[in-house]
Structure 1
């Protein structure tokens, strides 16, 4: 058996069935896997991936292996691993996996080191932790890396900061910025899976509640849309004037977090920044207020300040911590402030991850073929890859669209024809 560190290898059979269930809604990735198996575009390459270890990720790993890559996988979040999936990838797919749901900080980074033991040629990251470790603690491995990909907004922000400072040592494609990723994964995936996580953790009625969404990027838009659809009165908090204006035009109340803290029943952060729900907010919240995070890292809620303000805390339900404040109120943190859609639920539905992971697979192939032409910076997903994935997804859904006529194409390329 390949090297691994998973919770229980005997869970492999259950994981295999769930991986197959997810695959039914991942037709685009399936078609890529079939082509990869014939062409082997990743043959001879070692790939270290730091991703949420879910059923959808398992299908991506199997596609990359079919393409000839030697794949190593670790978790990109301590609470996002599905232990049966990790076991199945080891036993049934022969992929080294280092991931345990609920692993502590030390184990999390040890697992990243395990994934880097592959001496990768390509990195695949979700949040840029693997890239960060590679650039700080394992710099001796950088000479063997030809390129990488990044899955999420937070990771892209970190990588662009590295590139701007001139410390990024190899080219990376920002998969998050593909239209077929953020317009669907961030909006529809995060929207649905965040509500799923909140409901599984709390079993609370959304209808009639005051639901506060911090951040009106594509993830925030998706969460606000779903909360509104379930009957909540939605409040959006923002720092960007354009997004604040957009949220207002979309029919939501917009106000500062300090004001929203007084009236909200349920709070969700989706900004990618620190201290979005801060010390003063906890004092102002209603007795019984619930708050959680849907951004990548557990820094959006000031948990350390919350602990200092509390006279006691206890786990009252799975993934629900009750904090008793000194002012007599009790407020509730979900999922330890980590990604609630993966902490207490199963992450995005496979149909939407189909497109995100199709981008990952095709960008890995693109990097393998084109890395010599690329500089040490963050690149957008090539337009052709984005368009091809959209076409494949439409075909899988049985949806047809129009095709431009020669006259229409000529008109769009011309400037002479006016009114």
Structure 2
């Protein structure tokens, strides 16, 4: 190892160690895995954000006996020091910050070269490649896990078309993941990224949040907590009504575009902000995406509208100057702002998501022989176990049902 590599390894180890301090549940699971070895002999290909928190998950799976190959699920979120530390630990990492689209996909292919038994995905790119370009590997894959909303949408469509060839656990859909990772993690880290990139004061600004799922709700709550006026746009009447009853201003994007100072897309869909909206925005409008893929803001339309583009006016901030002199600021090239301009979710949040992921992998390893292709919920006992361990790590106790309460809940004969 040369001097530069050793410096990166040391920096990565420090970063991973800092994250692990806030991940007591996953650390405890790693210790259990090391003793029980539930993944002995299994090859795992993963396409995840290569961050310190992911490194703690990779360590837990390796402790359980897995051979791991890891690619990045976003080239702008890769922490090169973490990648180098993982390589030094014996995990094959195919990722580097800032690579081109072609290299990004080449890295996924390299991770698949391990001929995996189990796959972990964040956005369904790896699973998609397996089903379209690496079909020779499909017979050997006995199961997978998906981490994000966007990936689950794609997987459920594959299952509906009977195209999915193996069982996949929807880790994103657990209560602990949706409530804490999506809501609190995305909410805090998205605004962290916006503020790091622009140093803007959110108090008094109008923040437009496109999408009011768990992630959008978290962004809206955190923005309101910082003193912003929040406008919500939605296509789902029930979610729009929820936003309205929580006190948010609900409008279509064409109306929100005229009043917004900061726009955050978090829908899992494409072209949420497009030309018809861009031409209405005020001078200095800030555009940020917190959805998984860089398709929610129509960057191509913004390029075509701009007469001049000033790249890097601040780190992760590009300024597009329109014909009439109005300036629009695009953050993180339209990619995930919380992982590009900031460090993603706090480790304490990822402790729950990745603990569910680790336990789901162990469940897959145990049950894969009897599972058929499709999208599966994480077993409820896994979700409850993660929450129980998290509370225990925080020193929090909760009530337990009495025998009489158990009987009452399980009998239809007992009334008032």
TM-score tier (shorter) = over 0.9
Secondary structure at 2:279 match in 1: helix
Moved over 3 A (4+): 7-10
| Structure 2 residue aligned with 1:404 | 401
Q: Distance in 2 between matches of 1:27 and 1:21?
A: 12
User: Which sections of structure 1, spanning at least 5 residues, go unmatched?
Assistant: 2-6
| Structure 1 residue aligned with 2:185 | 189
Q: Does 2:237 align with 1:241?
A: yes
Q: Does 2:153 align with 1:163?
A: no
User: Which sections of structure 2, spanning at least 5 residues, go unmatched?
Assistant: none
Q: Return the offset for 1:327.
A: 2.4
Q: Return the offset for 1:9.
A: 6.1
| Gap change, CA 1:194 and 1:27, over 3 Å in 2 | same
| Structure 1 residue aligned with 2:202 | 206
Q: Does 2:287 align with 1:299?
A: no
Instruction: Please tell me the root mean square deviation across aligned C-alpha atoms, in Å.
Output: 1.0
Which of 258, 283, 288 in structure 2 is aligned with 1:287? 283
| Structure 2 residue aligned with 1:365 | 362
Deviations 1:320-367 (A, max 9, x none): 010011122111000000000001110000001001000111111111
Which of 118, 122, 134 in structure 2 is aligned with 1:122? 118
Which of 311, 323, 330 in structure 1 is aligned with 2:327? 330
| Gap change, CA 1:333 and 1:9, over 3 Å in 2 | farther
Deviations 1:52-83 (A, max 9, x none): 00110000000000000001101001111011
Q: Return the offset for 1:164.
A: 0.7
Q: Distance in 2 between matches of 1:135 and 1:89?
A: 28
Q: Which moved more, 1:306-315 or 1:292-301?
A: 306-315
Q: Return the offset for 1:235.
A: 0.4
Q: Return the offset for 1:375.
A: 1.1
Which of 59, 82, 91 in structure 2 is aligned with 1:62? 59
TM-score normalized with structure 1 length = 0.97
How many positions carry a matched residue from both structures? 413
Secondary structure at 1:284 match in 2: coil
| Structure 1 residue aligned with 2:36 | 39
| Structure 1 residue aligned with 2:142 | 146
| Gap change, CA 1:171 and 1:33, over 3 Å in 2 | same
Q: Does 2:44 align with 1:53?
A: no
Q: Distance in 2 between matches of 1:30 and 1:368?
A: 20
Deviations 1:99-121 (A, max 9, x none): 11111101100100110011000
| Structure 2 residue aligned with 1:257 | 253
Is the CA contact (8 Å cut-off) linking 1:127 and 1:151 kept in structure 2? yes
Q: Distance in 2 between matches of 1:35 and 1:274?
A: 42
Deviations 1:122-168 (A, max 9, x none): 00000010001111111001111110000000000001111111111
Q: Return the offset for 1:8.
A: 5.5
Q: Distance in 1 between matches of 2:278 and 2:412?
A: 59
| Structure 2 residue aligned with 1:134 | 130
| Structure 2 residue aligned with 1:271 | 267
Q: Distance in 1 between matches of 2:193 and 2:347?
A: 16
